[in-house]
Structure 1
Amino acid sequence: MKQPVLHTVLSPALLHLYDLSNTIVVIIDVFRATSTIATALYNGAEKIIPVDSVEQCIALGKATPNSITAGERDGKVIEGLQYGNSPGDYPKSFIEGKTLVLTTTNGTRLLHMALNNGAAEIITGSFPNLAAVTEFLMQQKKNVILGCSAWKDKFNLEDTLFAGAVVNKVTNHFKIHCDASLMAQEMYTLHQDNMHTFIRKTTHWHRLSAYGLEKDLEYCVTPNVANVLPLYKNGALLAMH
Structure 2
Amino acid sequence: MTATNKPGLEVCLSPALLHLFDVKNSIVVIIDVLRATSTICTALYNGASRVIPVSSVEECVHIGRAIDGITAGERDGKVAEGLVHGNSPFEYPRDFIENKTLVLTTTNGTKLLHMAKDAIQIITGSFPNISAVCDYLIAQNKNVILGCAAWKDRVNMEDTLFAGAVVNRIKAHFEVNCDSAVLAESMYQAAQPDLIGFMKQASHYRRLANYGLEKDIAYCLTPDGANVLPLFKDGELIAG
TM-score interval for Structure 1 and Structure 2 normalised by the shorter chain: over 0.9
- Kindly state the Cα deviation for residue 22 of structure 1 after the two structures are TM-superposed: 2.3
What residue is the counterpart of 2:123 in the other structure? 123
- Kindly state the Cα deviation for residue 196 of structure 1 after the two structures are TM-superposed: 1.5
What residue is the counterpart of 1:39 in the other structure? 42
Q: SS where residue 70 of structure 1 aligns?
A: strand
What residue is the counterpart of 2:25 in the other structure? 22
- Kindly state the Cα deviation for residue 234 of structure 1 after the two structures are TM-superposed: 1.1
In the alignment, structure 1 segments of 5+ residues that lack a partner are none
What residue is the counterpart of 1:232 in the other structure? 232
Give the Cα separation in 1 of the matches to 2:49 and 2:20.
35
Which of 100, 103, 125 is equivalent to 2:102? 100
Output aligned runs, 1:1-241, within 5 Å: 2-65=5-68, 67-115=69-117, 118-240=118-240
Give the Cα separation in 1 of the matches to 2:123 and 2:12.
15
C-alpha deviations, 1:95-154, integer Å up to 9, x for none?
111000000000011101111xx2111000000000000000000000000000000000
- Kindly state the Cα deviation for residue 79 of structure 1 after the two structures are TM-superposed: 1.6
- Kindly state the Cα deviation for residue 15 of structure 1 after the two structures are TM-superposed: 0.3
Give the Cα separation in 2 of the matches to 1:82 and 1:158.
26
Q: SS where residue 200 of structure 2 aligns?
A: helix
Tell me the number of residue pairs that the alignment of Structure 1 and Structure 2 aligns: 237
4+ aligned runs moved over 2 Å, structure 1: none
Percentage of matched positions with identical amino acids: 62
So what's the TM-score if we normalise by structure 2? Answer: 0.97
So what's the TM-score if we normalise by structure 1? Answer: 0.97
Give the Cα separation in 1 of the matches to 2:39 and 2:175.
31
Q: Which amino acid aligns with 1:218?
A: A
- Kindly state the Cα deviation for residue 189 of structure 1 after the two structures are TM-superposed: 1.2
Give the Cα separation in 2 of the matches to 1:135 and 1:29.
19
Give the Cα separation in 2 of the matches to 1:150 and 1:42.
24
Give the Cα separation in 2 of the matches to 1:114 and 1:87.
24
C-alpha deviations, 1:3-56, integer Å up to 9, x for none?
100110000000011111121000000000000001000000000000011111
